[in-house]
Amino acid sequence: MGRALIIGAGGVASVVVHKCCQNSEVFEEICIASRTKEKCDALKEKLEGGKTKISTAYVDADNTEMLIELINSFKPDIVINVALPYQDLTIMDACLATGVDYVDTANYEPLDTAKFEYKWQWAYREKYEKAGITALLGSGFDPGVTGVFCAYAMKHYFDEIHYIDILDANAGDHGYPFATNFNPEINIREITAKGSYIENGKWVETEPLEFKQVYDFPEIGPKDIYLLHHEELESLALNIKGVKKIRFWMTFSEKYINHLTVLENVGMTSIEPIEYEGKQIVPLQFLKAVLPDPASLGPRTKGKTNIGCIMQGVKDGKPLTYYVYNVCDHEECYKEVGSQAISYTTGVPAMIGAMMVMTGKWKKPGVNNIEEFDPDPFMEALNKWGLPWKESFSPTLLEE
């Protein structure tokens, strides 16, 4: 069917590449481009020989001109951005200049402010509409599948959804005292920032990790969950009819929290540059360099993830409760694509999102969040491509 340019060659990109190669009817040709070309070449070497034709390229995705040149020479139908959130705008600019559709998995974040907001990317709406190209924002798991879950619930079960709790549990064990499951810099910035949720259309801010509960997850068991700010709250509060309150929760073990507290107390999680031996360094970036590479956790991680949404609302005037979730096994993912479940649960939806746009099912000029599209073909594809979902109409609810 067509060609995709995949930008980035990290944990998530590796899964996207594997999945595009499995789906060679849609992805006839891919180009893997990143700033460390060796990583792109290693992926090509691993996957070459199938039906999907693979090429690689060096690109600095902070440089719009270089991106434009690459897009003009490869001529993709879509750009899949699985580099870092800092590159979203330069890549969106390049897509705009070349008239190519765009998909990502995380919203833009300026390097010097840990602030997840859609305003920078939503500012491209009119330009994308005029150019007749589609941007699909947040096609990972959360954001991503969680938005599709909400859209699906809205379409099939509810007249209005009043309360949404998004629950992200990782019961995987990699055997290290401390490591993050995806890019440590992004992960730690997210967790050490203030928490927040939306109530009656307004953000309510909390101290970092201020709210904690225990939730008994299907197939995983009881886990400590903490309220975090998360980017999809912003778009879901606008796009899902009737939402009064929406929160995001993530599991962390006591061991993880203890390590993080110490690192924070000694200043290692700071994003303020400091001078060290005549050089400016950012403590968090230095910490990233000494922590295990998330891509190396694959062979060591055992256990499962469970990510989903619990919704409460009304149908025909009657109250209704609905829980939809996916359970993913780290070891199974590793067997299939050589990555742990965190990369897997992000990479599979990124491939599916790109497929939705490429096949025309989700073609909508403008800049769109994932829940703005018809959820049905995506839900079907999740079952087919490795992230089957389950539903319950009588889940245990969280505390208020």
Would you tell me which residues interact with ligand NDP (CB under 6 A)? 8-13, 34-36, 39, 59-62, 82-85, 87, 105-106, 140-144, 182-183, 186, 294-295, 346
Measuring CA to CA, which residue among 155, 335, 191, 196 is closest to residue 263?
191
CB nearer to ligand NDP: give 60 or 199: 60
Strand-strand pairing, 274-276 and 160-170: unpaired
Q: Are 44 and 54 in contact (CB under 8 A)?
A: yes
CB nearer to ligand NDP: give 98 or 146: 146
CB nearer to ligand NDP: give 98 or 183: 183
Q: How far is the CB of 55 from ligand NDP (least distance, A)?
A: 16
CB nearer to ligand NDP: give 31 or 186: 186
Total number of residues shown for the chain = 400
CB nearer to ligand NDP: give 70 or 320: 70
Q: How far is the CB of 348 from ligand NDP (least distance, A)?
A: 10
CB nearer to ligand NDP: give 27 or 141: 141
Q: How far is the CB of 89 from ligand NDP (least distance, A)?
A: 12
CB nearer to ligand NDP: give 76 or 143: 143
CA 390, 395, 398, 400: dihedral to nearest 10 degrees? 120
Q: How far is the CB of 342 from ligand NDP (least distance, A)?
A: 6
CB nearer to ligand NDP: give 60 or 69: 60
Q: How far is the CB of 88 from ligand NDP (least distance, A)?
A: 8
Other C-beta atoms closer than 10 Å to the C-beta of 276 total 10
237: part of which helix (H) or strand (E)? helix 232-239
Distances (CA, A) of 234 to 34, 245, 284, 285: 30, 11, 26, 27
Which residues, other chains included, contact 29 with Cβ-Cβ below 8 Å and sequence gap of 6+? 2, 3, 4, 52, 53, 54, 55
Q: How far is the CB of 299 from ligand NDP (least distance, A)?
A: 16
Measured at CB, which residue is nearest to ligand NDP?
A: 10
Q: How far is the CB of 82 from ligand NDP (least distance, A)?
A: 5
Measuring CA to CA, which residue among 60, 127, 59 is closest to residue 96?
127
Distances (CA, A) of 129 to 75, 122, 133, 343, 363: 20, 11, 6, 31, 11
Q: How far is the CB of 380 from ligand NDP (least distance, A)?
A: 20
The whole-angstrom separation of Cα 28 and Cα 1 is: 6
Beta bridge partners of 350: none
Q: How far is the CB of 140 from ligand NDP (least distance, A)?
A: 2
DSSP 125: H
Which residues, other chains included, contact 320 with Cβ-Cβ below 8 Å and sequence gap of 6+? 157, 158, 312, 313, 314, 393
20: part of which helix (H) or strand (E)? helix 11-22
Burial 191-200 (b: 16+ CB within 10 A, else e): bbeebbbbee
CB nearer to ligand NDP: give 146 or 312: 146
